[in-house]
Amino acid sequence: MSTIYLFSSAEVEPTPGSLMKQRRPDVVGAFVHCLVAAANEVAAEAALREALAEDSYRLLSPGQVEAFHHYCGRGGRATQRMRAAAWDLLIAGGVWYGPFFGFVTPG
């Protein structure tokens, strides 16, 4: 049985070919919340790296990682969208990530 892992504020780099680089070439990085269904944290991070790479992003830092049910159990504020995604992942497995919060190099 899989556990859903929450990657809070994972830092990613958009690479050529990513939707972010196509829309905003000046963006050099982004933060994103991710949910991954996996047997353990190591497998979850590997699955996240692979899913992001398929969409032309590179994972720079996974951010804080914890089981989603622990996050919710300690009062973490999960959006309705995240909760729905977690249920879907419990059934089908896979990776989900929410909106990217991009940043540019100051200058």
Output the pLDDT for position 35: 97
User: Among 84, 102, 5, which residue's Cα sits nearest to residue 49?
Assistant: 5
The torsion region of residue 18 among left (phi > 0), alpha (psi -120 to 50) and beta comes to beta
The mean pLDDT value for 7-34 works out to 95
Phi, psi of 20 (to 5 degrees): -65, -45
Q: Amino acid letter at 17?
A: G
- Long-range residue pairs from 86-92, CB within 8 A, at least 24 positions apart, any chain: 86/4, 86/35, 89/2, 89/4, 89/35, 89/36, 89/37, 90/2, 90/4, 90/37, 92/37
pLDDT tens-digit profile of 32-82? 999 999 999 999 999 999 999 999 999 999 999 999 988 888 877 788 889
Output the pLDDT for position 107: 66
